[in-house]
Amino acid sequence: MRVMAGPQLALAVSKAGGLGFIGPGAKPEDTNTDLATARELLGRTSVNNPVISFPLDGTLPIGVGFQLWNGDIQVAERAVGQYRPCAAWLFAPSKGQPELDEWTTRLHQASPGIQIWVQIGTVAEAVECVQSSARPEVLVVQGAEAGGHGRKDGLGIMSLFPEVQDAARESGIPLIAAGGIADGRGVAAASALGASGVAMGTRFLASTEARIKKGYQDEVVRAKDGAHCTTRTMLYNQLRGTTGWPEQYSPRGIINQSWHDYQAGVEFDELKRLHDEAERSGDQGWGPEGRLATYAGAGVGLVHSVKDAGVLVAEIQTEARDILRGLGDMYSHGQ
């Protein structure tokens, strides 16, 4: 979720019994600011997480995400060393597994006890990662339903997850399912596939704590039919001037007028002019007739309202638990 997941959101999730992550900032140093804020907020509150227990050694009960291709490993080392987030999530190296290995090793050294989560989107990436020398603590398996940037060549989590699980089984590394999961049904389904947990982004774009513009958030709530209203395209990166992503990634977002005009053959310069104009119009820049990037996953059609992150975590956990208890009961008859 990049800048949209700040310290307020991350802490709210962890306090409710999830594990919140601060996303990568607009520039590497922003992570320090966010972690300092989290540390300060934490001083004024307490975290009594029923799922995850934290050692009383000053570890922060939240994780932090790093986007490797434009990250700064020295800044990251200092950040995790100083603020002690319990986990670091590594994504999108430009130089593949060796780059992941280097970050894993150096962050482990900078903050002993930190859990390294590595996000992958293909079976091949998973195999390479679990066979590498620098062992992460967790693999995040991201399906093609996910919003924002992911593998161009990914596929639905229903097929991807079990195949990654088979490939990674011997390593014993726990797997987290990501992509297209936005409520308790998805969590229950991921559990049934064998996931140790799920990662949710899009659902938390519509949380009160998300660092997101109202126009963007309104559009996440409005959008229906995630398969039709979202697509993977580099267009919005180009309009925003975001360049440099390694070529194996592309982002999923909600389509709007920029996309329709692009499909209709409108020249890029004109699209860019209209985009920049929309940018100056504030919240009206988003929406079906808007022109601004609205990165979101295919589960966006399951998001219908903005809620406190803590309420979301509790509701989703309860729904998933009820589903699994119910199915367990059903299949225990006549055991």
Residues that bind a copy of itself (CB under 8 A): 122-124, 143-145, 153-163, 165-166, 179-183, 185-186, 188-194, 224-228, 297-299, 301-302, 321, 323-332, 335
Q: Taking Cα atoms as reference points, which of 121, 157, 160 lies closest to residue 139? A: 121
Token readout for 4 is 């949209």
Query: Shortest approach of a copy of itself to residue 64 CB, angstroms?
Result: 26
Which three-class secondary structure state does DSSP give residue 215?
Answer: helix
8 Cα distance to chain centroid: 16
Query: Shortest approach of a copy of itself to residue 188 CB, angstroms?
Result: 4
Q: What are 252's strand-pairing partners?
A: 148, 232
Query: Shortest approach of a copy of itself to residue 297 CB, angstroms?
Result: 7
Which three-class secondary structure state does DSSP give residue 61?
Answer: strand
Residue nearer to a copy of itself on the CB measure, 75 or 123: 123
Query: Shortest approach of a copy of itself to residue 151 CB, angstroms?
Result: 8
Residue nearer to a copy of itself on the CB measure, 41 or 123: 123
Query: Shortest approach of a copy of itself to residue 143 CB, angstroms?
Result: 6
Which residue type is seen at 26?
A
Q: For residue 176, give the DSSP letter.
A: E
Residue nearer to a copy of itself on the CB measure, 111 or 122: 122
Cα distances (Å, whole numbers) of residue 110 to 14, 59, 64, 132, 137: 23, 13, 14, 20, 16
Residue nearer to a copy of itself on the CB measure, 152 or 240: 152
Q: Which residues contact 198 (CB under 8 A, 6 or more apart)?
A: 176, 177, 178, 181, 186, 187, 190
Query: Shortest approach of a copy of itself to residue 40 CB, angstroms?
Result: 34
Residue nearer to a copy of itself on the CB measure, 185 or 272: 185
Number of Cβ within 10 Å of residue 105's Cβ equals 15
Query: Shortest approach of a copy of itself to residue 300 CB, angstroms?
Result: 8
Token readout for 127 is 């195999």
Which three-class secondary structure state does DSSP give residue 182?
Answer: coil
Residue nearer to a copy of itself on the CB measure, 3 or 158: 158
Place of tokens 């603020």: 83
Q: What are 178's strand-pairing partners?
A: 142, 199
Residue nearer to a copy of itself on the CB measure, 191 or 242: 191
The half-sphere exposure of 321 on its side-chain side, counting CA atoms within 13 A, is 6
Query: Shortest approach of a copy of itself to residue 332 CB, angstroms?
Result: 6
